[in-house]
Amino acid sequence: MSNISKPLIKWYLINKRELPWRKTTDPYRIWLSEIMLQQTQVAQGLPYYLKFLEVFPSVNDLANANEEQVLKLWQGLGYYSRARNLHSTAKYVAHELNGVFPNNYSELKKLKGVGDYTASAIASICYQEPKAVLDGNVFRVLSRLYGIDVPINSTEGQKLFSKLAQELLDKNQPDTNNQAIMEFGARHCTPKKPMCDSCIFNTRCLALKESKVAQLPVKLKKTKIKKRYFNYIVPISNNETSVLKKRPAKGIWASLYEFPLIEASGKITYDELLAEVVKEELFATAYDLSLYNESPIIHKLSHQHIHAQFWIATTNEKLNDAIPLSEIENYPVPVLIANFIKEFSL
């Protein structure tokens, strides 16, 4: 099999971005960056990474934080289970491992929220263990370069690409090799409009030779998107208070806060909503209800689309479990709620 690691590493050393986690082998910082950048673009994740390090400079600092503080700092990154796993693992490393991360792939993989990819990245970057990483960028580069049309999210595909990546890895510099192929996929062999004309592999890329670049990599069809209809009741009293409810510990936005919610099977009328509010006994006070946004806000998650409408409930009476409007922004909330709070100027 032809060697691709040398030209990849050469390209990387010339073209790599200067990123803070590339200037360290501290496993805490590498772990933090890898968890944050899962399903997140570097441009979006970088400010969060820097803020987390500012607030939690060590794994012990993160371990000693409360969950709401962690979720609030994570707000906007999505996939909140990553934040909860991050916090759980920090507590485990700090309290059970005396603040020292495991120093090999096998032990790293036992940590909560750390899968094959993250364990491989930390092991290779921090400890020079020759474990090849396999993320979306690596799948794309290898599938195109070798013309592989086996679905990357199938069991067969996972095994095939894992074996291939390991065979191609430069065992003497696995850290640089892993970062090189990921950077190449992120910046050159991109999902759309890859720069094939100037590609270092354009004379040997089978996808380019067979005009299949746009068709690779192959993925099995995703789960059908589910539509959900959320009606948020936003209580506002004349003494400038409101109400937030904590979501369940499972499901979307687990343990985040939101306004009282009425979920319906479709778009709901004023009278239908009023009946639900009475039925759910959301208020023990007299109130005036008005619709804030006539057109639903469509918030897209990986397997479901939320169609959200906000209803303002004003009252002259005291609210139960009231929160001062001045403190609303201190609570960790989904982006959908955060955007409303900002727009409505609560």
Tell me the per-residue pLDDT of 8-61, one tens digit each, with 9 for 90 and over. 999 999 999 999 999 999 999 999 999 999 888 899 999 999 999 999 999 999
pLDDT of 216: 95
Task: Say what angle helices 116-127 and 174-187 make with each other, to 10 degrees.
Answer: 130
The pLDDT > 70 percentage for the chain reads 97
Whether 284 has a pLDDT exceeding 70, the answer reads no
Task: Say what angle helices 174-187 and 136-145 make with each other, to 10 degrees.
Answer: 80
Cβ proximity of 41 and 137 under 8 Å: no
226-243: average pLDDT: 93
pLDDT of 39: 83
pLDDT of 1: 44
pLDDT of 346: 65
Handedness of CA 342, 328, 35, 228 (dihedral sign): negative
Strands 297-300 and 288-291: unpaired
Query: Sorting pLDDT into bands at 50, 70 and 90, what band is 224?
Result: confident
pLDDT in tens, 46-96: 999 999 999 999 999 999 999 999 999 999 998 899 999 999 999 999 999
pLDDT of 155: 92
Alpha helices in the chain (DSSP H): 5-15, 27-36, 42-55, 59-63, 67-74, 81-96, 105-108, 116-127, 136-145, 155-168, 174-187, 206-209, 270-280, 335-344
* DSSP H or E run through 241: strand 241-242
Average pLDDT, rounded, for the chain: 93
256-263: average pLDDT: 95
Which token pair is 345?
């100027």
Question: Measuring CA to CA, how many Å separate 308 from each of 51, 66, 185, 263, 340?
Answer: 30, 30, 36, 9, 10
Q: 265 exposed, middle or buried (CB, 10 Å; 0-12, 13-18, 19+)?
A: exposed
Handedness of CA 36, 42, 44, 48 (dihedral sign): positive
Query: Sorting pLDDT into bands at 50, 70 and 90, what band is 222?
Result: confident
Catalytic residues, by residue number, are 34
Whether 174 has a pLDDT exceeding 70, the answer reads yes
Whether 333 has a pLDDT exceeding 70, the answer reads yes
Whether 2 has a pLDDT exceeding 60, the answer reads no
Count other Cβ atoms within 10 Å, centred on residue 140.
23
pLDDT of 281: 72
Count other Cβ atoms within 10 Å, centred on residue 124.
24
- For residue 146, give every residue at least 6 positions away whose Cβ sits within 8 Å of its Cβ, in sequence order, or none: 164, 206
